[in-house]
Amino acid sequence: MINYKVLKISTNVVNKRFFSTTFLKSEQLKCAIVGSGPAAFYTAIHLIKNTKHDIKVDMFEKLPCPFGLVRFGVAPDHPEVKNVLHKFDAFALSEPKFNFYGNVTIGKDISLSDLQEAYNFTVLAYGSEKDNELYIKNEHSKNVFSARAFVGWYNGHPEFFNLNPDLSNVREVSIIGMGNVSLDCARLLLSPPSALENTDITKHAFEVLRNSKVERVRILGRRGPMEVAFTSKELREMDSIPNLKFKTDLALLKNALEDSKNSLLLSKDRPRKRLLENLNKFFKKNMEGSSKKTFQIDFLKSPKEVILNEDGSLHSLKVEKNELCENGKVEGTNIFEEIRSDMIIKSVGYKSVALEGLPFNEKKGFVPNFSGRVVDANSTVIAGLYVSGWLKRGPTGVIASTMFDANETAGAILKDLEESPQKLDQAKTGFEAISKRLNVKRIVTFTDWKKIEKHEFDEGIKVGKVREKLSNIDEMLRICDKL
C-alpha cells in the first residue's frame, strides 16, 4: 500500500479546485534535476512541454559538460546513436524555463536536503557511477580494468583520463561479460586505426590503439549461447572488421539452435533466434584465415582468479568450466582452465550509489520507487522526490527505453500536481536559495558549455575529426573564462 507524506488541507473538492487554479497559476513551480544524461533531459523536456503549469527546471551536473553516457558511453564509431544530442541541444538553447548548472556536485557542493528545501520537486537522474565487482582474487591488479573505466577512457571522461592502458605489449585480452559494451570494447581493440581516426575518439586513446599489438580478444560468459546479452547489430559490426578470424564452440551453438527445449522459446523470440543464427553463420564463415587478429567467444566459463607473475604483472585468468542444467541455469564442474591474458576488462554491469539520506536498494542497485516517486522503507512516498533512468530501474536499457521511463516519471509529477495540489503549500525560490549555499569556484552554464564544445569542434577540424574532446576539467574551465 502506498501512503503519501503530505501536508493536510481541507478535503473539500471546491477548496482543492480553488487552490489548484489560483496558486498554481500565480506561482512558478521550481524543479531540480540531478544529472544531465538522456533520462534527465527527457524528464525536463516532458515537464516543460507537456503541461499547463508554469514549471522552471534547473539541471545540475557534476562535470562541466552535459549529456552523460551519450557523450561518455556511446562508442565513437556509433555517431548515429548520438543524434539525440541535437534534440537536447535545441531544447537547452531555446527554452527560457531551463537552466544548466555544470561543475556542481550534489552531496559535496550542496546537499540533497538543500535541493528539496529550495525546489517544489527534485528528480534524481544521475545514473550509475560505480562498477559491479567479481569478488575474485587480484581483480584490482594492474591491467585489469572495468568496462566503465575503459569506455570512459577512450571517450574522454575526466575521471579516466589517466587510465593509460599500455597496449604496446598486450596481445591477449579477456573481456568478462557478454553484453553490447563487451563487444564495443572488443571492436575498438580489433578494428584498424582507419576505422576510428575521423571519429570523436580522444587523441590520447587513438594513439594508444594505433600502437596496439592486440591479436586476440576473448569474450567470456558463465552461461550459454541462449543467454548472450549483445545484439545482432553489434555482432554484424564485428563481422565487418576486415580479415578478422572468429572462434567459438560451434557444436554448442548448433545444439542451442537445434535443441527441442529451445525451439519454443526461439519461436516466440525472433530477435534471439536471428542472433543465434548469425552467431553460427559468422563463426563458421570466419574460422579460417591468415589474419593474426582473432575474436573468440568462450561460453560456460566463470572467472575465479586473476593469476599474476612473480613481479606482479598479469599472467592469466583462471576460469571454471560450467555445464548447463535442466532449469536453464549452470553449475560449476570443478574443472579449471587458465586463459593467457595480458589485459582483462570486466564488463559485468554498473551500479548506482545513494546520496546521503536517499532510500536505496543495495541488492538491486536502484532507489525504491513507485512510477518514479521515491518511497521509504515503509513504502511511503516521499513528497516532491522522484527518480528517473538507471537510478530508477537499474543499469539496463537503451536510450529509447530511457525516454519512456523519463516520461513516466514526468507524468507522475504532473499527475501529483493535479491530484495533490496541497503539496505546494509555499512558494520556492529554487536556484536563488541554492546559490547562497553553493561552494563552487566556477559554475558552468549551457552558454559556457557551448564555448567548450566550439573549442572541441575547432580543434577537430584541424586534424580532420568530428571534434577533439577535452578530458581535463581545468582546461574546460579556462576556456569558459577565455572566450
Binding residues for FAD: 39, 61, 69, 106, 390, 397-399
- What stretch of H or E contains 4? strand 3-4
Question: How many Å apart are CA 344 and CA 94, to the nearest integer?
Answer: 45
Q: Which residues are annotated as a binding site for NADP(+)?
A: 222-223, 234, 397
Name the 3-class secondary structure at 410: helix
Name the 3-class secondary structure at 427: coil
Check if the beta carbon of residue 219 is closer than 8 Å to that of residue 298: yes
The C-alpha cell 570443478 sits at: 334
Residue closest to 231 by CA, chosen among 189, 181, 180: 180
Task: Give strand pairing partners of 245.
Answer: 294
**Residues whose CB falls within 8 Å of the CB of residue 406, separated by 6 or more in sequence, listed in order:** 38, 39, 40, 41, 42, 43, 46, 125, 388, 389
Question: How many Å apart are CA 318 and CA 48, to the nearest integer?
Answer: 53
| DSSP string covering 54-91 | -EEEEEEESSSS--HHHHHTS-TT-GGGGGHHHHHHHH
Q: How many other CB atoms are there within 10 angstroms of residue 150's CB atom?
A: 24
| DSSP string covering 95-136 | -TTEEEEES--BTTTB-HHHHHHH-SEEEE-----EE-----
Dig out the grid coordinates for 238 from the structure: 564485428
Q: Is the dihedral of CA 479, 480, 481, 483 positive or negative?
A: positive
Q: Which residues are annotated as a binding site?
A: 39, 61, 69, 106, 222-223, 234, 390, 397-399
Question: How many Å apart are CA 282 and CA 158, to the nearest integer?
Answer: 37
Strand blocks (E) in 341-408: 343-346, 350-351, 369-370, 373-375, 380-387
Distances from the Cα of 182 to the Cα of 212, 217, 242, angstroms: 18, 10, 19
Q: How many other CB atoms are there within 10 angstroms of residue 223's CB atom?
A: 18
Dig out the grid coordinates for 354 from the structure: 545513494
Dig out the grid coordinates for 168 from the structure: 604496446
Q: What is the chain's length?
A: 483
